[in-house]
Amino acid sequence: MDENQILLASTLMQLGVGGGTGFVVGYGLRKIASVAVKVVAVVVTLLTLPLVALQYMGIIKVNYDALTSLAQSIFSQVAEFAMSVAPKLLEALPITGSFGLGLVAGALKK
C-alpha cells in the first residue's frame, strides 16, 4: 500500500467510527433527554418560585448587578475554553465532523 491509500483508509475508518458512535450517542441522548429536560425544568421551577416570592414580599433582595457579572464571567470562561479546544477539534476533523452528523441523525431518529 502506498501512502495515499493508507491515508484514505485511515480517513474512511475515522468517518465510519465517528458517524456510528455519534448516531448511537444521539439516539441515546434523545431517549434520555426527553425525561431529563422535564426533571430539570421542574427542579429549576421549584427552586426559583420560592425565591421570587420572597423577593416580591420584600424578605430578600436580589443583586442583579452581581448576578449579571457572574453570568458574564461564566460565559466568558466557557468561550475561552471553546476557543482553546477548537484547534484540537480541527485536527481531528474527519472523526469530529462525522460524529456531529451522526449525533444529529441519531437525535432525529424516531
Q: Where are the domains of the chain?
A: 3-108
Which pLDDT does position 14 carry in this prediction? 78
Q: Is the pLDDT of residue 81 over 90?
A: yes
**CB of 106 closer than 8 Å to CB of 26:** yes
Q: Is the pLDDT of residue 3 over 70?
A: yes
Q: Is 64 left (phi over 0), alpha (psi -120 to 50) or beta?
A: alpha
Which pLDDT does position 78 carry in this prediction? 94
* Number of residues that make up the chain: 110
Q: Is the pLDDT of residue 35 over 80?
A: yes
Q: Could you give the count of Cα atoms lying within 13 Å of 62 in the half-sphere of its Cβ?
A: 12
Give the three cell numbers for residue 49: 418560585
Which pLDDT does position 1 carry in this prediction? 66
